[in-house]
Amino acid sequence: MSKRRIILSILIGLVVIWGVSGMFITKRHAEQQAVQEIKEEQVARQKCAEYLVHHYEGIKTLEVSKLYKPNSIGGGTYTCDIRINGKKRSC
């Protein structure tokens, strides 16, 4: 084999290794970000439930739904649906 083929095969091998490792790093980062978002949502739902329990009387059952986030451009607000004693409300 000539030197060119050896160098070319080494370069191709390095590019393949670099690409595969980049895919794994990106996948791991996306998984970590998803876990972080789930934790943040749980904390927000917990705070919402605690606020309602401490500031309102007569709550027998309380269900806090998924937290809806504003769009990616930045417009809108955070919202969630709440069921207090079986009646649906929004906050």
How far does the chain reach from its first CA to its final CA, in angstroms? 71
CB 41 within 8 A of CB 50: no
The pLDDT tens digits of the residues spanning 26-84 come to 778 888 888 888 888 888 888 888 888 888 888 888 888 887 777 767 667 777 788 88
Q: Which residues contact 59 (CB under 8 A, 6 or more apart)?
A: 52, 53, 84, 85
Look at the block and give the residue holding tokens 């998803």.
Answer: 34
The model carries a pTM of: 0.58
Residue 91 has pLDDT above 70, yes or no: no
Q: What average pLDDT score do residues 20-25 get? A: 77
Amino acid at 42: Q
Cβ neighbours of residue 56 closer than 8 Å, sequence gap 6 or more: 84
